[in-house]
Structure 1
Amino acid sequence: MTNERRVLVHPDKSSLAGAVAARFITKLLDILDDQELAHIVLTGGTMGAAVLEAVAASPARTTIDWSRVHVWWGDERWVASGDADRNDAQADAALLDDLDLDERNVHRFPAADAGLDLDEAAVRYAAELAEWAAPGLEHPVFDITFLGVGPDGHIASLFPHRSGIGVTDRTVIAVRNSPKPPPERLSLTRPVLNASQRVWFVLAGADKASALGLALAGASRDEVPVAGIKGRRRTVFFVDQDAAAEVPEELIARDY
């Protein structure tokens, strides 16, 4: 078992999405060979959606018993259900609508039109996490957690120089005055993300190069939140050539 960080570089966004999708299907098959259920955390953004679209386009996706897969999200925008800005709406359009999943296996953050305020919504999602908690924990141990990385180094809705990245006494937080719109959000906390067996970062574009370089150089999690996230078994940065511009050559892996 190993938990070192690896950087895998792909020529462009398209090949990046396809490669991650193929690895995801293969790894999910392995996980389901070893255990009854798999818990997966999805992310939003351009590359998050692109990976899911590539999964949808792959004939190999039919080899997965999706009834044994539970889907969660690392964060969500506090907007109405079905709003195109929601991460779950993007995931629905990219893949989930095609899978005909049992809605009991799809664990969505509450929406702004659910009759809850933001703090109540955080408590509600924390309760749902607790329903599926691993022994001794308040949440599932996620088998694969997908995360994007912002140009400022934020992950989920944990932003630089904000208190969220340092919260350890809750599994879900309400985020207000986000530096990135919309201003109100919900997010898993760092301990929950770090309990994941595997964390797969997927990032592309030259605007991500500085954050990635700083994270791998040992920047503080308060300055660059991505630096504070690491899976139990494996942490992989799947990146394109542009995002890898500031990664030292010795940190680039030649294979998975």
Structure 2
Amino acid sequence: MSVQRINERGRTGCPTPPGFHSWDCACATGSRPKAPRAVYQDQALRRRTGGCREGFRLPAAAVAMAAPAPGLISVFSSSQELGASLAQLVAQQAACCLAGARARFTLGLSGGSLVSMLARELPTAAAPAGPASLARWTLGFCDERLVPFEHAESTYGLYRTHLLSRLPIPDSQVITVNPELPVEEAAEDYAQKLRQAFQGDAIPVFDLLILGVGPDGHTCSLFPDHPLLQEREKIVAPISDSPKPPPQRVTLTLPVLNAARTIIFVATGEGKAAVLKRILEDKEENPLPAALVQPRTGKLCWFLDEAAARLLTVPFEKHSTL
């Protein structure tokens, strides 16, 4: 894979040398993980980035996820390449967290096309870590439709069928929304489960959240012009009037999203091109929900395919397979 930097006018800058760099781990608390034998292009880069566990390697673009808006934008030639790099990044983040002082890796998942993408790539990417490491993953969901787990619209139900059946993550470490409760109670029940899982945190701090974005700019179940965009007290909120069916849902709120250590937005297809230009380039008086996701101290990254990125003029890094 090669990486090319694209400037504001779309011209190709100096391509990054071939190869992979270890991704800078956002989980590090205190000293960096030991065994810094990952692949680096030169010793100067090694000194700048520190090290992570050997065997988990990512494109250079993933090394320096930028904190300022709009964050680092990585564009892939296809959704298949995007999915493979996303899965590698998840495995890399988990390895860094578990190699350090922290006892677990916390991951928040979103639904939609991300389910099939992660189901296709993550089992292979995570396999080198082994069952013992995967047993230390804790999973939550960024939002959930209030339908039975067997329903085709259930985010957890889809992950259970297509991904979790292939990963040795204990059921007790998968935090779910109870669809049998009324929506208000389901939201409070999920909030209580998160508080129990993230004891000591006033607001749950996920190591990694993977978010999607809709053609209208919504993310999770936070929709444009909805009162939930102003929610600052609750960590989980119910929604009974979703403009996208089904109407009853439970969602993480912006304070939780913006507390995450790392956030990755994923968007593919021409249908997302116009809204991505608005989110990443336009300064609107009433920003779209996805534009309100700005981690306070964490890292923000966008993974796009070429079709979704076709209208962008802001700098991005383009990845292609040689």
TM above 0.5, yes or no, is yes
Alignment of 1:151-170 (within 5 A): 151-170=215-234
How far apart are residue 235 of structure 1 and its match?
0.4
In structure 2, how many angstroms separate the alpha carbons of the residues matched to 1:147 and 1:187? 12
Query: Is the partner of 1:253 in helix, strand or coil?
Result: strand
2:198 is matched with which residue?
A: 133
Match of 1:23 among 68, 89, 92: 89
Q: Per-residue CA shift, 1:51-84, capped at 9, x if unaligned?
A: 232112x165241511110000000011012222
- In structure 1, give the amino acid aligned to 2:300: T
Q: Per-residue CA shift, 1:162-210, capped at 9, x if unaligned?
A: 1112211101111112111111111000000100000011110111112
Judging by fraction of residues, say which structure has more helix.
Answer: 1
How far apart are residue 15 of structure 1 and its match?
1.2
Contact 1:161 1:223 in 2 (8 A): no
Contact 2:279 2:287 in 1 (8 A): no
Unaligned runs of 5+ in 1: none
2:119 is matched with which residue?
A: 52
Match of 1:76 among 141, 144, 160: 144
Unaligned runs of 5+ in 2: 1-25, 27-65
> Quick check: 1:247 aligned with 2:312?
yes
> Quick check: 1:178 aligned with 2:178?
no
- In structure 2, give the amino acid aligned to 1:137: A
- In structure 2, give the amino acid aligned to 1:171: I
- In structure 2, give the amino acid aligned to 1:181: P
Alignment of 1:78-97 (within 5 A): 78-97=146-165
Deviating 4+ runs (over 6 angstroms) = none
TM-score (norm 2): 0.73
> Quick check: 1:99 aligned with 2:163?
no
Percent identical: 27
Residue 191 and residue 60 in structure 1: after superposition, are their counterparts in 2 closer, same or farther (change >3 A)? Answer: closer
Higher relative contact order (CA 8 A, sep 6+): 1
Contact 1:7 1:253 in 2 (8 A): yes
- In structure 2, give the amino acid aligned to 1:103: D
Residue 21 and residue 59 in structure 1: after superposition, are their counterparts in 2 closer, same or farther (change >3 A)? Answer: closer
> What do you get for the CA RMSD once the two structures are aligned?
1.9
In structure 1, how many angstroms separate the alpha carbons of the residues matched to 2:228 and 2:275? 18
In structure 2, how many angstroms separate the alpha carbons of the residues matched to 1:143 and 1:249? 27
Match of 1:199 among 263, 283, 302: 263
Residue 205 and residue 59 in structure 1: after superposition, are their counterparts in 2 closer, same or farther (change >3 A)? Answer: closer
Query: Is the partner of 2:135 in helix, strand or coil?
Result: helix
Contact 1:40 1:143 in 2 (8 A): yes
TM-score (norm 1): 0.91
- In structure 1, give the amino acid aligned to 2:306: Q
In structure 2, how many angstroms separate the alpha carbons of the residues matched to 1:48 and 1:161? 27
How far apart are residue 102 of structure 1 and its match?
1.5
Query: Is the partner of 1:200 in helix, strand or coil?
Result: strand
Query: Is the partner of 1:146 in helix, strand or coil?
Result: strand
